[in-house]
Structure 1
């Protein structure tokens, strides 16, 4: 399959209004903003997009909105994660109908699968669609992992084109890279924003980086400067991004990402309950971090 995920791909947040409804105008504005800042793709309905909190109709609307607003400028990777195989396939078909360019599939949540069950799950999912598929490994959230040997087996399936590694375990990332070196058109993407530069040095193709919602140009610099041969500049951009990723520990993910965008003037709302807004003291700490990073809005941050 001739599709190679690369670069910095923000898992775009889902903006909600005060009634908990998808805020389509803000989603369109954020889509334009991120593309204008130089990101290399958009990924609606990932963990950062609160995929677990929306109905099928809301899901469809989000994907359609991002696809139509993107208008082919960058690829759109739709998150299609569900606890069951049939649920995942249902979401993939919705993503197909909405015009997504590729899909990302998390390991099923709550249940603890064997590696053979994971292989069978992804093989069945791959057979259900002609879209490119990116495996998504997020053991800290699911307590399930795609072991490197299993990833290497899955990489042999034609339309499985990559894996996002959000474990934060760089040895695991390195093993994905080492064991898939001989697989044509298979990319490894970082899912831990503090490890993007390191991953590129090992041969990763980029990152699905939540902090790129708030700092898109800075995150894109890590990749763009690396590709241009400016390794020092890439590393410096990585160091500048790190405080924002570390600040995400202040609240339940992805509330810090949403509050960061709010402080920049985007009316994205808060995460859906039961996730709570940041306490005032932590919001002020986040404000200070953004200002120190040069991410304050002209004329000051919004309240």
Structure 2
């Protein structure tokens, strides 16, 4: 059975000035990330502005991703919708594009009970052969999957993991504690400052937005930890932390895009209404990246 692992960047979606998808820069991004040691590629997550694309545009991005990755690492596709049927539609599109797994965010805007969340993921899993990763991002959705619900969902054969972007490490720990007897289920960190801590507790990796800008540093946290170089892994975590903290400037994921622009990768800005950073914020970001050795 497929099990997620390692550092998986939720890849930014490069855009032209008119807001259309920039395929050529996206392909460059994929090659750069893989060359720097990431363990998977994840199109159309939160960092990839999934909300900006129609189902058919999503299909095209999945097709481009699978083509460019060319079986070098697994492809995890974001399939996010408020309704169960909408999520299933995107999951089926992803499956037709031959990705390895899908990540499904909790429905946003509406406020579900735990039983409704359980039914949402159970129904999605029953409608695909793909491995499904639950995506919990309470700060963005105001919806939270409780650890007991994750434990129940982990018993479904093709639900293989959960990404926890709450930033609440007690929550992450409980996800791990309550599923630790299931070797076919893995917990992934969604907060880049907590990757090392998560690995120490038994997490299998991270879906890390900062890996777009600092792929080698981020991959070092995982690779060095697995190799037994705990001091090296912790040092990589400390090196990465200021970049993740800097993403609080502006509206996410604009800092990630501006970091890439500073590195010379012309990814454009986020889709409106997200604004560019101020000159002062951009200079702060530049200083952070220089300290990290990225510029």
Same fold per superposition (TM over 0.5): yes
Q: Which residue of 1 aligns with 2:271?
A: 272
What is the aligned partner in structure 2 of residue 232 from structure 1? 231
What do residues 118-147 of structure 1 show as CA deviations (whole Å, max 9, x unaligned)? 000000000000000000000000000110
- Residues 258-284 of structure 1, C-alpha deviation per residue, up to 9 Å, x if partnerless? 000011011100000000000111111
**Can you list the C-alpha shifts for 1:144-175, whole angstroms capped at 9, x where unaligned?**
01100000000000000000000000000000
Aligned counterpart, 2:218: 219
Deviation at 1:58, TM superposition (A): 1.6
Q: Does 1:111 align with 2:110?
A: yes
Q: Distance in 2 between matches of 1:94 and 1:19?
A: 26
- Other-structure match for 2:282: 283
What is the CA-CA distance between 1:184 and the residue it aligns to? 3.1
State how far apart, in whole Å, the 1-side matches of 2:19 and 2:230 are.
Answer: 43
Report the CA distance between 1:97 and its aligned residue: 1.3
Q: How many angstroms apart in 2 are the aligned matches of 1:124 and 1:190? A: 24
1:288 to partner: Cα distance: 1.2
Aligned residue number for residue 291 of structure 2 = 292
Name the SS of the counterpart of 2:155 in structure 1.
Answer: coil
Task: Give the whole-Å Cα distance in 1 for the aligned partners of 2:182 and 2:229.
Answer: 28
Supply the distance in 1 between the matched residues of 2:100 and 2:261 (Cα, whole angstroms). Answer: 29
Deviation at 1:181, TM superposition (A): 1.1
Q: Which moved more, 1:184-193 or 1:55-64?
A: 55-64
CA shift for structure 1 position 112: 0.3
1:258 corresponds to which residue? 257
| Match of residue 130 from structure 2 | 131
Distance in 2 of aligned mates of 1:266 and 1:94: 29
Count how many residue pairs are aligned between Structure 1 and Structure 2: 295
Q: Which residue of 2 aligns with 1:173?
A: 172
CA offsets 1:27-69 (integer angstroms, 9 cap, x no match)? 0000000000000001100000000111122211111111100
> Which runs of 5 or more residues in structure 1 are unaligned?
297-303
Displacement of 1:99? 1.5
CA offset digits 1:223-271 (Å, max 9, x no partner): 0000000000000000000000000001100000000001101110000
Q: Which residue of 1 aligns with 2:58?
A: 59
Name the SS for the 1:57 alignment partner: helix
Aligned to 2:119: 120
* TM-score normalised according to structure 2 size: 0.99
Task: Please list every run of 5 or more consecutive structure 2 residues that lacks an aligned counterpart in the other structure.
Answer: none
Aligned to 2:24: 25
- Three-state SS of the structure 2 residue aligned to 1:168 is coil
CA RMSD of aligned residues (A): 0.6
Tell me, in whole angstroms, the C-alpha distance in 2 between the residues paired with 1:97 and 1:230.
40
Runs of 4+ in 1 over 6 A off after TM superposition: none
Structure 2 counterpart SS, 1:240: helix
TM-score by length of 1: 0.97
CA distance in 2, matches of 1:71, 1:197: 29
